[in-house]
Amino acid sequence: PGEQIFEKLLSGMYLGEIVRRALLKIAEEAEFFGDTVPPKLKIPFILRTPEMSSMHHDTTQDLKEVGSKLR
């Protein structure tokens, strides 16, 4: 406990970018979002870790929070 706090803080900064890159790859190769890749998905660092956290905690039946963050 209490060790490597700096590394943990830094790695959290990149979670959104890792997910954005994975979504982009899926969108390009498997047409996850339909025929076209959303243009915003091509912008580096547009998806941040706080958005990832709020999507993770979305417990609504229709995932409204997830939908709003991805829009």
Domain boundary assignment for the chain? 5-66
Specify the residue for token string 């982009």. 24
pLDDT in tens, 22-65: 989 999 988 888 888 889 889 999 988 888 888 888 998 899 98
Question: Residue 26 gets which letter from DSSP?
Answer: H
Measured distance CA(27)–CA(18) in Å, rounded: 14
pLDDT reading at 11 higher than 90: no
Residue from 6, 8, 1 nearest 49 by CA = 8
Q: pLDDT category, 12, cuts 50, 70, 90? A: confident
Q: What is the arithmetic mean of pLDDT over 2-30?
A: 82
Q: How far apart are the first and last CA of the chain?
A: 38
